[in-house]
Every structure is written in C-alpha cells, then in structure tokens.
Structure 1
Amino acid sequence: MSPYRTTTGLMSHAPANESDLLPRWARLAPLALVALALAIDLPTPGAFSGDVFLILSSMIASCVYSLRAVVGVAVLNSLAGLVLLFAGHLSSDGGHAVVDYVSMVVLAWASVPLCRLRLSLRRRLQGAERVAESAQRAVLPPVRAWWGDTWIAVRYEAASAAASVGGDLYAAEHTPYGVRLLIGDVRGKGLNSIPGVAALVGSFHEAAHHTPTLSELARHLDEAVTRHTRETAAVSGETTVSGEHFITAAIAQIPDDGTEVRLISRGHCPAFLVSDSSLQVWEPEHPGLPLGLGEFDTGLWNDESRPFGPGHLLLLLLCTDGLLEARDSEGRFYAPHEDLRQSWRQGPPAVVERLTRAVHTHTDGVLTDDLALVAVTRVEHAPPRTGG
C-alpha cells in the first residue's frame, strides 16, 4: 500500500453482501424444516401433519435466499407435501388432506413474489446508499495520509446507522502556511446537520490557503457559518433566533519548516498531545465561543502553540465529544488516555483504529453521538513516495 494513499475515514454501515448479515442457522433453516416435516410426519401417518413446517420453510427462504433458490425450495416443498399426502394423509383424511395440500402449495409458492419484492426493495436501498455515500464523500473529501513529514489519519462514524455522515466534520489542507487541520461539531446531529457541515468544510478548504493567521481564519469561518444560517433561514422561511445555530471547532496549523503546532479553539473539546514521557490534555486558555456566535464574542481570538517537530516524538489528537462523552452501561465516560499511550508510537492510523474500537467496546457498540478523530504526527524521515 502506498504511504501516500488517501484516508477517507468514513465507515460504511452496509455489508458488502446481504448474506454477511445472516447467521448460519438462518441459511440452513429452510432445508432443516423440510427434513423435520418428513421425519415427524412419515412415522406417524395421519396423526400429525408436517405441512406447517413446509410452509414455514418457504416463508423463511423468501427472506434469506436468492429468487432461484426460493423457487427450488417451493418445488421441494411441493414434492415433500405430495409424498406426505400419499404416504398417509390421503387414506386417513381423504378430501381434507387434498385441500390441506393445495393450501400448502399455494402458500409455498407465495414465497416467490415475496422474494421478488424483497430483492427489488434491496436494490432500491443499495442504489440510495450509493448515492448517499457519494454525496457524503463530497461533503467530507478524502484526506491525504502524508504531506512531507506530516502523517495524518482520520476516522469518522455517524451515530445514525442510516448515514455515513452526521453533524461532526473534519478537513485538512496543505497551504502556504503549512498543514492546516479542522475538526468540528454542528449543534445537533443526524442528517439535518449535513448542510452546516458542507458550508463550513467548503469555506475552510478555500480560506485556509489565503488567510495568514489562525485567528483570521477562525473569523472567516465564523462569518461563513453565520451567513449560511441566515440564508438557510431565509430560504425556508423560518425565524432564526440569535445563538440558536452554531458549530464548535478547533483549527490546528503545523508549519512545514517549524517545530511547533498552533491551535485555536472555538468552544471545542480539548486536544491531546502524547509522547513517551507525558500525555497533555490541551485545553486552550481562551477557547472562545463556537463559530456562528462571533457577534457575541468581544474577546481576543488568540491561538496557542506547543512544541511539535520531527524530533519531539509527539502525536496530536483532535476529536469531537463523541469520543469524550461516550458512556458505558453504568454512565461512565470513556477516557482515551491509556489507549493513546499504548498506540501512539504505531502511527496515526493505529491510533484512530484503536480509539474507535475502544469506544465501541466501551458503549457496547451503541454510539449516541457522531464521532470524528484526527491524529497527526511528524517524522524525521517521510517514506519515499510511490504510485497509488
């Protein structure tokens, strides 16, 4: 794999194949029910009817098998029912047995249109998922893994299983001022947050290249969020209350030839700096109000710096509160400190992967908020660039 391969960080909720969702027993159940019907009915002619198992076999097949396999199961059940009819039901129950057999066949073959409907709906859902995935990747474009000696990895998971993007965001750009990183969290979550995400990320990708300082960049983004909020309200005809819509954000800058990282926070959660000797929770002295509330913030929009050169052996983690406010079944918050200490030397991809797994374990796989992670470090010797 090329070390310059992009990292999208988007986690797909859809399995590659529908059969991946099915336990083994579900795939074997239709055939097992046919065998059960024959095993119970044949030794007790007239005392018990296995037709109910044959009907159930076809119904389950319509939910788990391909159309051709469902037709095959319907044929098998029709033949099995015929065997049971002549083996004992016809002589003991006469006309009623024939009526029961015909009813069983009708229900068995009803599984075929049910299967066609399921497959049609599944194709439509897959088409919608592909369109949504393309749109979502346009909102959060891929991030390059390497810019010079700067190594970046991102990870994103939406709380909603119906979407790959929600209210959290990230972005990275290589600018004349160095590598600039953005992470943020739109007020609220879910699909309604995506327009705000798109507005902020789009503005960042443009402004990051021609805005000299982080404070100027933050003010530019604040104006973009405010403008987007007003325009959205005007189009929808809604009345917007001042302070109702905002985005918490942190912006970091790593100069190409410098030995520090600069950070400005606008109401966002802390960053982390980790090395062999320490783990620092970086909470800016003046975090400021979130983007979109700049009109209420009369203070200084200052950024802060920390040592961050190739020789410092440091890793910077930017995250959203989906990481720090993840709770277990007893309401305890997840603390990333130990996982960061154990994984940071393995590089940013290992860090975001480990933290994501740890959060899922901590919450028993149930995310109640969107999660975004950006891990970055600087190395003394970047790997040689290869194709791919």
Structure 2
Amino acid sequence: MCHARDHQRDHRPTWQPDKGFTKRRSGSGSRAAAHLAPGVPILLICAVALVAFISGASASWLPLLAVGPALAAATSRPWGVLRIGFLAAALGAVLGARGGAPGHEQSIALSALVAVTLASGLASALRDRRERVLADVRSVAEAAQHALLEPVPPTVGQFQVAVRYSAAAAEARIGGDLYALVPTPYGVRLIVGDVRGKGLPAVGTAALVVGVFREAAYDEPDLLDVVGRIERSLARNLGPDDFVTAVVAGCSGPGRMEIVNCGHAPPLMVRDGEILAVEPTHPAPPLGLHALTGEAPTLQILSFADGDQLLLYTDGVTEARNHGREFYPLAERMARHVSDQPSHTLDALHDDLLAHVGGRLDDDAALLLLRKPAVVGSASGPEAPAALAETAARPAH
C-alpha cells in the first residue's frame, strides 16, 4: 500500500498568487509604484510653472496648474491631494502677480484651482475607501480558497507534487475548477475536476465535490465507491442541467495507479521522455449525469513506476486559444518543458501558456502534476510494471 504522510505543512502553497496563471504585481513592486506616483503631479506643476516663467505669459498658463491635483486624486491620499493643490495655488498666485493679470481674472483662475483641488480630494477619499473594501474582499477570497483548495505541499508520501490554479473571473481566487490531494489509509488519492458554468454557483458546486471527496477518500477502501459517494451527493444537490467532469486517481499499491475518468480530459503520463494520453477504456458520463445515462464509471489500473509522472488538468488549459484561434498544444509543450521537478515543469508551462494566449486566460484553469521519484538502488526487474496499459477495468458497484 502507498501509505502517505503529509510533510512540510508550513510550506507555502504552490498555487499562491505569484505562482498562478495570471501574472500579478508583487507587493514590493506595488509599494515602489505608490512611492513614485505622487511625484508625477508635482513634476507637472513645476514644469507648467517653468514654461510660464520662461514664456513670459504667466497668467495664460494658470488653468494648467489644475492638472496637478486632478492627477494626484489617482495616486495620493486626500491630504496629499490638498498639499499638491496648495502648492499649485501658491505657484498660481506668484505667476498671476508676475504676469500682471487683472485681479478678477486671477481670482477666477485661483478659485477654479481650489475647486478642482477639493473635488480631487473627495475623489481620492472615495478611491481610498474602495481600495480598503477591495482589500477586505480579497482577504475573504483568500480565506475561501484556503478552505476550498487547500495548499498542497511539494511532497506527499512518496510523491512529488505541484499545483497551479487560476480563476478566470477578474480579481477572483477561486472558480469552477477544483482539485484536491489527500493521503489516506488506502494510499494517496486525488481529484481534478471542472464544474459546468462559472461564478458563485460553480464555486458552490466545486466546494461540494471537494468536501465529499475528502470525506469519502478516507472512508472508502474502493476508489469507485469514492466516486459513487460524489455522484449520489451531486444527484441530490445539482440541477438537471448541471454536471461536473472529473478524474479521480489513487495509488493503491507499489507501481499501481487507479484512475476513474468521468467525462474529463484524459490525463497525460510522462514515461521515459514520452507523453502518453491515458484515454479511458470505457468512457463514462460526467458526475451528476449517471441517472440520465445509466452508464457507470469504470476503474482503470495503470502501471506507475519510478520516474513516471501523471499530469491532470482542466479544459481551461487545452482550450486556451492564441490570437490565431489555435488551441494550446499541452502534450507538445509538456514534452518540451518536463523535468524532474514538478514545480519547475508547471512554472515553465505557466509562462508558455501565458505567452500563447497573450497574457490572460478566458477560463478557469488547473494543473496538478504527480511524480514518483526514482529510488536509488531500487531494482526494476521483470516483475516491475513497465507498460502503460490497462491491467484491469471493472464497473462501479
């Protein structure tokens, strides 16, 4: 049995934002931008004052000083906007006096500058409030993702593991794609799935599937019974048009990998430098549709030797299109970027996928890569499994 323990619980999750499919600015970069941006309105004000001084037509340039506080509303806090507005008003008064502008014209220009400054200060206060609300929402989303998609350590039992996940919804952390990997008394078990639809309903269904899987994976000795538990739960909770495609897999013994494919994209097996699609021998419908079709999923048993890797993914990866409307060739790119470190492999795929789509994905996407590292001094005699083939297939009970 491939009994497993969960090591390195304090390790940072491999799906953390700076590792996801969607590139995002790091905290240091954002802080640097925040420190540099307030200087731009001041530079603009000084530039306008310098041009007005050199040209000699000082009064004509007074309206342009309002650009400073107006721009500061997007980069500074309210008090910063007021300080920049005060600087602009002071320079405006000096330029107006130097240019000999009539008193009433100078008063109108300075009043307009003060009005723009006050309006910009109010806009800055509203922007600051929205940013705080967004920060709170993001923290809740992070907590929800930790609850739904728990961090996966780099090593689970005898396997090396890496995960990459990205939600398509703007500013979202979770979506309709799901994954889970748990060490159980019956070996390491994992699931990767895709819920029909997007948004909050898809998130709720994904949470239901992951919760049932985690519970059943510990309780059920048979992997098909795990799938049966998920199917029964979805039958009670999903609508008639809802379903979930998924691949459920488990290591039930040395050199042995069990797979149940329920209408999902076939996993990719990496063996001796070759990429082989693990097509289901008996295709089964997605989870939630068993009552409509009457077809039951079957158990597929594969050899899984030292050095082998298994990649599970969702259609957000394979259906990603470039500007020429061409799908992402996952198997081809996997062969190009595969390495002995799953995290490095998925990092390379992440960069390649972003380059393919031009920087943004249009659908939720998840990748889970499992590798069995070679054991030094292990024997690989004739009894060791060496072929990617079905050695047993049986229907669900």
Give TM class, smaller chain: 0.7 to 0.9
Which of 318, 341, 356 is residue 324 of structure 1 equivalent to? 318
CA distance in 2, matches of 1:129, 1:147: 29
Measure how far apart 1:272 and its partner are: 0.4
Moved more, 103-112 or 350-359: 103-112
- Alignment of 1:274 onto 2:270: yes
AA paired with 1:284? P
1:237 alignment counterpart? none
The question of whether the paired residues in 2 share the 8 Å contact of 1:339 and 1:354 is answered with no
Structure 1 residues 17, 50: CA separation in 2 closer, same or farther (over 3 Å shift)? farther
Query: TM-score, structure 1 length as denominator?
Result: 0.87
Among residues 12, 17, 26, which one is paired with 1:11 in the alignment?
17
Q: 1:52 aligns with which of 63, 70, 82?
A: 63
Residue 81 of structure 1 is matched in structure 2 by 92
Greater Cα offset, 365-374 or 41-50: 41-50
Counterpart position of 2:348: 354
Residue of structure 2 equivalent to 1:283: 279
- 1:184 corresponds to which residue? 193
Matches within 5 A, 1:110-129: 110-129=119-138
CA–CA distance in 2 between the matches of 1:21 and 1:198?
A: 37
**1:258 maps to 2:247:** no
Given that 2:178 and 2:194 are in contact with CA atoms closer than 8 Å, whether structure 1 keeps it comes out as yes
- How many Å separate the matches in 2 of 1:289 and 1:154? 26
CA distance, structure 1, for counterparts of residue 335 and residue 29 of structure 2: 38
User: What SS does structure 2 have at the residue aligned with 1:270?
Assistant: coil
Bigger mean CA deviation after superposition, 333-342 or 148-157: 333-342
The 2-side partners of 1:374 and 1:320 are apart by: 9
Distance 2:287 2:266 in 1: 16
Q: Is the 8 A contact 1:8 1:141 kept in 2?
A: no
Q: Which residue of 1 aligns with 2:80?
A: 69
Q: Does 1:155 align with 2:157?
A: no
Segment drifting more, 10-19 vs 60-69: 10-19
- After TM superposition, give the deviation of residue 270 of structure 1 in Å: 1.1
Alpha-carbon spacing, 1:277–1:128, altered in 2? closer, same or farther (3 Å): closer
Kindly tell me: are residues 273 and 193 of structure 1, through their superposed partners in 2, closer, same or farther at Cα, counting changes over 3 Å? same
Aligned Cα RMSD in Å? Answer: 2.4
Which residue number in structure 2 is paired with residue 233 of structure 1? Answer: none
Which residue identity does 1:202 align to in structure 2? G
Deviation at 1:21, TM superposition (A): 9.3
Matches of 2:262 and 2:156 in 1, distance apart? 26
- Following the alignment from structure 1 to structure 2, what is the Cα–Cα distance between the partners of residues 103 and 167? 51
Provide the rounded CA distance (Å) in 2 between the counterparts of 1:85 and 1:109. 21
Cα pair distance change 1:285/1:220, threshold 3 Å: same
Do the aligned partners of residues 19 and 216 (structure 1) sit closer, same or farther apart at CA in structure 2, a change above 3 Å counting? closer
The separation in 2 between residues aligned to 1:56 and 1:154, in whole angstroms, is: 47
The correspondence for 2:223, drawn from 188, 194, 214, is 214
SS at match of 1:37: helix
Instruction: Check conservation: 2:58, 2:98, Cα contact below 8 A.
Output: no
- Which residue identity does 2:125 align to in structure 1? R
Aligned equivalent of 1:235: none
Q: 1:150 to 1:6 in 2, by over 3 A?
A: farther
1:304-326 CA distances to partner (integer Å, 9 max, x unpaired)?
1222122xx11110000011110
Match of 1:31 among 39, 42, 45: 42
TM superposition shift of 1:215: 1.8
Q: Which runs of 5+ in 2 are unaligned?
A: 1-6, 377-397
- State the shift of 1:17 in Å: 6.8
Whether 1:303 and 2:314 are equivalent positions in the alignment is no
Q: What letter matches 1:79 in structure 2?
A: A
Alignment pair present for 1:377 and 2:371: yes
Q: TM-score by structure 2 length?
A: 0.85
Q: How many residues align?
A: 364
In 2, distance between residues paired with 1:218 and 1:157? Answer: 25
Q: How far apart are 1:155 and its partner, in Å?
A: 1.1
Q: Structure 1 CA distance, aligned partners of 2:227 and 2:49?
A: 73
Q: Partners of 2:271 and 2:163 in 1: how far apart?
A: 19
Q: Tell me what 1:204 maps to.
A: 213
Whole-angstrom CA distance in 2 between matches of 1:372 and 1:111:
43
Q: Distance in 2 between matches of 1:21 and 1:160?
A: 27
Q: Distance in 1 between matches of 2:233 and 2:352?
A: 35
Structure 1 residues 267, 10: closer, same or farther in 2, change over 3 A?
A: farther
Q: 1:321 to 1:110 in 2, by over 3 A?
A: same
Q: What percentage of residue pairs aligned between the two structures are identical?
A: 30
Pair 1:216–1:206, CA change in 2 (3 A): same
Residue 106 of structure 1 is matched in structure 2 by 115
* CA pair 345-8 structure 1, distance change in 2 beyond 3 A: closer
Distance 1:355 1:20, change over 3 A: farther
Question: Structure 1: 5+ residue runs without aligned partners?
Answer: 230-239, 383-388
Q: Secondary structure at the match of 1:64?
A: coil
What amino acid is aligned across from residue 37 of structure 1 in structure 2? V
Supply the distance in 1 between the matched residues of 2:303 and 2:101 (Cα, whole angstroms). Answer: 91
- Structure 2 distance, partners of 1:6, 1:62, is 37
Contact 1:10 1:157 in 2 (8 A): no
Q: 1:224 to 1:325 in 2, by over 3 A?
A: same
**Corresponding letter in the other structure for 1:266:** C
Distance in 2 (CA, whole Å) between partners of 1:19 and 1:209 is 43
Secondary structure of the structure 2 residue equivalent to 1:43:
helix
